[in-house]
Structure 1
Amino acid sequence: MHAKDRQAISETLSSHGHLFDEGHLDRLGEIFTPDVVYDMSALEAGTFEGNEAVRSAAVRLGADNPIAHHLTNLVITSEEDDRATARSKGLVVLADGTFASVTHLDSLRRHDGGWRISRRVVSPQRTPLGGARPAHAGNR
């Protein structure tokens, strides 16, 4: 994958936090394909299909939305010239001042002159080491 595409994908993924945190929900087409599937079922928040469903879910959540989304540890792999997969970590700041860590698994494709997320799966990180227990930690 060309460096130009990697940069464009990184900017698309990074723009997610800016658009949501600033309330620009009318601009979701800048980061999502029209048929996006946004899967937050692991967070018990449901799965949303299409930009309008994503926007409506955020509006319904209202003050319970995170106040800040931070993206880190981005790894991009190319599947085809016009498709890519990205894994990243997310850190969200909640209104009560607490933090939460999630993992994003994004499928992206070229759409409307740029890279857009066509599917996002958000999974919580609730245990150290992904829940794996090292063999030597048995007697603590």
Structure 2
Amino acid sequence: MGNEETATASGPALFQVCAQVEIRNVLARIAHASDEGSLDEYGACFTEDARWEMPGLVVRHGRTQICQAGAERRASAIAGPGTHTRHLISTTAVTVQGDEAVAESCWQFYVGTGERPVPASMGTYRDTLRRTDEGWQVAERIVRPG
């Protein structure tokens, strides 16, 4: 029964599955770019008018400000290439409605990954995504530690 349903999935169901996979890949690319990629790779995951929010930090508006925040974290050796840090994302649930979606994920942030990884923080992401000409991109990221 389950295989038969899967084999005949088309139309809206197939769109949902494809969108969910694409969205999970966007979230993974953000994590990879945060640790080892370029700021251009990082920024490409966000819409031009994106919003990034985390308690205790300045809310960033737009791709340029979001990339500037990434550059600041790199300059402070908090994260980025050479810092031996790692962002892990898990238990992601994606809800797609047309060209918009919400993804809720848990994250863990490790330091010292070059020798002996140590968990430094964890929390949740609530990402609102939009399908654009460039594919799915994050329009809003709300980061909640804890």
Task: State the TM-score, normalizing by the size of structure 1.
Answer: 0.79
**Could you report, residue by residue, the CA deviation over 1:28-57 in whole angstroms, capped at 9, with x for unpaired residues?**
3431111110101x2x12210111111111
Q: Percent identity?
A: 27
Structure 2 residues not aligned, in runs of 5+? 1-14
- Equivalent position amino acid for 1:89 in 2: C
**Could you report, residue by residue, the CA deviation over 1:8-43 in whole angstroms, capped at 9, with x for unpaired residues?**
011011111111111410123431111110101x2x
Secondary structure in 1 aligned to 2:40?
helix
Contact between 2:43 and 2:67, CA under 8 Å: does it hold in 1?
Answer: no
Mapped partners of 1:97, 1:23: distance in 2 = 21
Partner of 1:83: 100
Partner of 2:127: 106
Partner of 1:93: 110
CA RMSD of aligned residues (A): 1.8
Secondary structure in 1 aligned to 2:22?
helix
Shift of residue 82, structure 1, vs aligned partner: 0.2
Partner of 2:7: none
State how 1:54-69 maps to structure 2 within 5 Å: 54-61=66-73, 62=75, 63-65=77-79, 67-69=85-87
**Could you report, residue by residue, the CA deviation over 1:86-135 in whole angstroms, capped at 9, with x for unpaired residues?**
1000000135944211100000010123110000000011xxxxxxxxxx
Contact between 1:28 and 1:51, CA under 8 Å: does it hold in 2?
Answer: no
Say how many residue pairs are matched.
Answer: 122
Mapped partners of 2:127, 2:119: distance in 1 = 25
Partner of 1:119: 140
- Equivalent position amino acid for 2:105 in 1: S
Task: State the TM-score, normalizing by the size of structure 2.
Answer: 0.76
Contact between 2:127 and 2:140, CA under 8 Å: does it hold in 1?
Answer: yes
Shift of residue 2, structure 1, vs aligned partner: 1.7
Asked if residue 71 in structure 1 is aligned to residue 89 in structure 2, the reply is yes
Mapped partners of 1:81, 1:100: distance in 2 = 34
